[in-house]
Amino acid sequence: MTITDVAKRAGVSMKTVSRVLNNEPYVNEATRELVLGAAAELGYAPNPSAQNLARGVSHTIGLAYATAVAGSSAVIPHYSQGIQVGALEACEQRDFGVLLLPCARDNPDPAEEIVRKARGRRVSGLIVAAPVCNLPGVIPALQASQIPYVCVSPNALEDGAGSVSVNDREAARLMTEHILRLGHRRIAFIRGPHLSRDSDERLAGYEEAMKQAGVKVDPRWIVTGNHMFESGVTNGEKLLALEPRPTAVFASNDDMAAGVMHAAYRMGLSLPGDVSIAGFDDSDIARTVWPPLTTIHQPLLEMAAKAVDALVTKVRGRGNDDCVSMLKPFVFDCALVVRGSVAPLKQPEE
C-alpha cells in the first residue's frame, strides 16, 4: 500500500495524507480521523527511510574504522570490531542505521574519503574510531565539513567536540603492578606507535608503576611496535634474546602479546615458566592462545554506545545542559583480567 492508495480511500489529496501522517497542525479533526481510518484499513505504514530521504536526512550514522591494509574491509582489528558491534546495537535501540566506512591505515588521504562518503550517503553524523581519527588531516577536514562527529580514543580530548576513551595510563599501571606483585622486576614493555596518546599513556602507566616499586628500567626493555602480530614476533625475539632476559613482557595490545608468545615458543621457552606475557584489550585472541592471556579489558561496547548517545544528541541539537554534558570527553575505566600467561616468579631475580 502507498500514500496514493490511502488518499484514494479517504477521498483526499496526497498532501493532506502526508500532513496527517506527519502529525502536522491545522488539520481538521474529522479529516484526520478519516485518513487514519483509511490507513488502518489498508494496513499502510510510512516508510521511515523514504520519509527521511524526502526531508534531506538519513537517520544513519557513519562509522569510520581502521582496516589492516589498503582496500581491505576483511581484515578488521579487534578494536574496530568491538566498536562496530557496540554502535550497531546502540543505533538499533535509537532507530538509527549504521553505515560502515572502512579506512586503511596507509590511505594517502583518509580525510577526503571519509567526508566524500559521508556527504554522498547523507549521513546524520559520523563516529570516527582510532586510529582513523588520529590520522593527519582527518579532524580539520571533519571540522571544515560541518558534519557532526564524535571520536573514539582521539589524541586530543577537547570539550565541545565529543569523545570517548579509556584511562590508558591507569590501566597499564594496574597491569604492571600486578606483575610486580608476583615477584617480577625485569619487566619489558612493547609500546604502540609514536605520536599516539593511548600509546604514550600506556607507556607512562608502566613507567610510573616501575618507578613506584623502586625498579630501574633498562632502556633495552622498552621497544616500539605497531599493534600488529608480526611486530610482536619481531620485538619478542629481540627482548627474549637480551642478557639477562626479561622474566615478563607486557605488550600494549593482545595481538602483539600473541606475537611475543609465538616468538617465545619458537625460541624453546615455556610459558609462563620461563617468561610471563601480558596484553591489553581482552580480544578474542586472548582467550584462544595457550596459555590464555592475562590482559586489560576495554569496555568497547559501552564506549561505542556512549559515542552514539553523544552523536545523536549532537545531531538533534538539543542545545541544553544535557547536550553540553554529552559533548565533554568521557573516560571509561578498564579492568584487569587474570588468566594463565602470567605467573609468580620461580626464583628471585639477580
pLDDT per position as a tens digit, 27-36: 888 898 898 8
Q: What is the mean pLDDT of residues 141-149?
A: 88
Tally of helices (H runs) and strands (E runs) in the chain = 14, 12
For residue 137, what pLDDT is reported? 87
Domain 168-297 carries which CATH code? 3.40.50.2300
User: E-assigned strands of 10-55?
Assistant: none
Sign of CA dihedral 50, 54, 56, 57: negative
For residue 67, what pLDDT is reported? 76
Whether the CB-CB separation of 59 and 97 falls below 8 Å is answered with: yes
Domain 60-152+302-333 carries which CATH code? 3.40.50.2300
Q: Which residues of 148-181 are buried (b: 16+ CB within 10 A; e: fewer)?
A: bbbbbbbbebeeebbbbbbebbbbbbbbbbbbbe
Chain-centroid distance of CA 280 in Å reads 14
Sole residue written with cell 587474570: 338
Work out the pLDDT band at 155, boundaries 50, 70, 90.
confident
For residue 325, what pLDDT is reported? 52
Domain ranges across the chain: 3-46, 60-152+302-333, 168-297
Cell numbers linked to 215: 625498579
In this model, does residue 65 exceed pLDDT 70? yes
The reply to whether 168-297 shares the fold of 3-46 is: no
Cell numbers linked to 191: 609500546
Residue 19 vs residue 84, higher pLDDT:
84
For residue 119, what pLDDT is reported? 83
User: E-assigned strands of 159-215?
Assistant: 163-166, 187-191
DSSP state of 94: T
Q: What is the pLDDT of residues 118-142, one digit of tens each?
A: 887 788 899 999 888 888 888 888 8
> The pTM is what?
0.76
In this model, does residue 175 exceed pLDDT 90? yes
Cell numbers linked to 197: 596518546
Map residue 143 onto helix, strand or coil: helix
Of 279, 187, 200, 286, nearest in space to 239 by CA:
187
Is CATH 2.60.40.420 correct for 3-46?
A: no
Q: Identify any residues that bridge with 279 across adjacent strands, giving them in sequence order.
A: none
Average pLDDT, the chain: 86
| Rounded CA separation 96/88 (Å) | 9
Q: What is the pLDDT of residues 306-324, one digit of tens each?
A: 999 989 888 876 544 454 4
